[in-house]
Amino acid sequence: MEEDIKISIIVPCYNEEDVLSEFYAAVKDVMENRMKLDEYEVFFVNDGSTDATGTLLRGFHEKDIHVQYLSFSRNFGKESAMYAGLLYTKGDYTVIMDADLQHPPEVISDMYREISSGQYDMIATRRKNRKTDTKMRASLSHMFYGFMNRISGINMENDAMDFRMFNQKAKNAILSITEYNRFSKGIFEWIGFRTQWLEIEINDRRAGKSKWSFRGLFAYSLEGCIAFSTLPLSLASIMGCLCCFAGFAMIIAMVVQALATGVEGSGYATIVCMILLMGGIQLFCVGILGQYLAKTYLESKNRPKFLVQETSKEIVMERRAFSSDGTGQNQSYIR
Ligand code: UDP
Ligand code: MG
C-alpha cells in the first residue's frame, strides 16, 4: 500500500478539534469523488495538542486506511510538524496544508493536474486576497518580506503560502536541509526547482482560533532574518565605521574651534551624550551578535526537531538513516 501512494497530504494540527472532522470530510470528498483517487493518504501531525485532536485522529485512522497520524510529545511548532510530515510520508507527490480549511482542498486537484504534467517540481500558492488578516498583520507582513528580500538575496513573496505540492525531487531537497531553526517560506524559495504559482482565494478559518500571536509572529520573523541573512552582523561594522568617522570629524572641529576662539566651558554635556550614544550602539551590536550566537548554539546542540509520542505509521528505514545519524536504530526522535 505504502509504495502505491500517489498523493500524501500533510496536515499540521495544534488544538484543531473544532474543525478537524469537517476538514477530513472535505479532503476525502475531493480525493475520492472529485479526483477519483484511491491511492492517497492524509497524514495528520498532531503538534502536542491539549484538546481532543489526538483522540479524533485515532478515530479517523481506525475507520479509514487513508488516514495516518503522528503525535508529538509536546508542541514543537508548525515548522517541526511540516518537517516530520515530509519525513514520514512517501507519496509520489506531497501536499502541505493547514487544518482550518483556509486552504481550499479542491485546489489539490489543480495542483495534481499541473505537477503530473511533469513540467514542474513544485506547485506553490499565493493568496489573491488578504481579507482574512487584520490590516495591521497584512502591512507588517508586507514590510517584513520587503526587508527580507533586500537582506537575504532570495525572493520571498509576501502573499506566498505554505500550501504547496512537491514531487520527490523537491521534497528530498527540503529534507536535505536539516537545520533546527527552520523557516520554510525561505527554504521553499532557496531550493529553487521549477515552480508553478497558483493564485487562490483564501477562506476564513472555519472554526477555532489562529495560533499566531503578535509575539509569535515577531519571533518567527526574527527567525527568518537570522536563518537567511548575515547582513545584520555587518551592521556592527558599518555603525562602528560611521562612529569613528563622526568622532574623527568632531576632534578636527574641536581643534579648529580651540585654535580660533580658545577652549570654552567644561564640555560635560557633550561627553555624556557621546558616552550614551556609543554605549547604545555597542549594546545594540552586541545584541545582534548575541542573536546569531544563540541560534548557532542551538544548532550545535543538534537536538531533535521533534519527539514522537505516538504514531499510526512506522517510519521507513532509509528515511531514518537519511535524516539522522545514519544508525537507523530504534530512535524515538528525528533530528
Ligand atoms: N499549527 C501547528 N503548530 C503550531 C501552530 C499551528 O501545527 O504550533 C498548525 C495549525 O493547527 C494549522 C496551521 O498550523 O493547521 C496554521 O495555523 P493557524 O491557522 O493558526 O495560522 P494562520 O492561518 O493564522 O497563519
Ligand atoms: Mg489558519
Confidence class of residue 210 from pLDDT cuts 50, 70 and 90?
confident
Helical residues (DSSP H) of 89-209, grouped into ranges: 107-115, 135-152, 168-175, 184-190
Q: What is the CATH number of domain 7-229+304-332?
A: 3.90.550.10
The amino acid at residue 100 is: D
pLDDT of 174 above 90: yes
> From atom 10 of ligand 1, which residue's Cα is the shortest distance away?
13
Helix (H, G, I), strand (E, B) or coil at 46: strand
The label of the residue with cell 474543525 reads 19
Residue closest to 157 by CA, chosen among 116, 120, 124: 124
- C-beta of 100 in contact with ligand 1 (< 6 A): yes
> From atom 24 of ligand 1, which residue's Cα is the shortest distance away?
210
Confidence class of residue 211 from pLDDT cuts 50, 70 and 90?
confident
- For the stretch 176-193, pLDDT in tens is 998 888 889 889 999 999
Domain ranges across the chain? 7-229+304-332, 231-301
Between 187 and 221, name the one with better pLDDT: 187
- C-beta of 203 in contact with ligand 1 (< 6 A): no
- C-beta of 309 in contact with ligand 1 (< 6 A): no
- C-beta of 98 in contact with ligand 1 (< 6 A): yes
pLDDT of 129 above 90: no
Q: Give the full edge-to-edge strand order of the sheet including 195-200.
A: 195-200, 122-127, 160-167, 93-96, 7-13, 40-46, 67-72, 306-311, 333-334
- For the stretch 285-318, pLDDT in tens is 888 888 888 888 888 888 889 999 999 976 654 4
- For the stretch 2-17, pLDDT in tens is 568 899 999 999 999 9
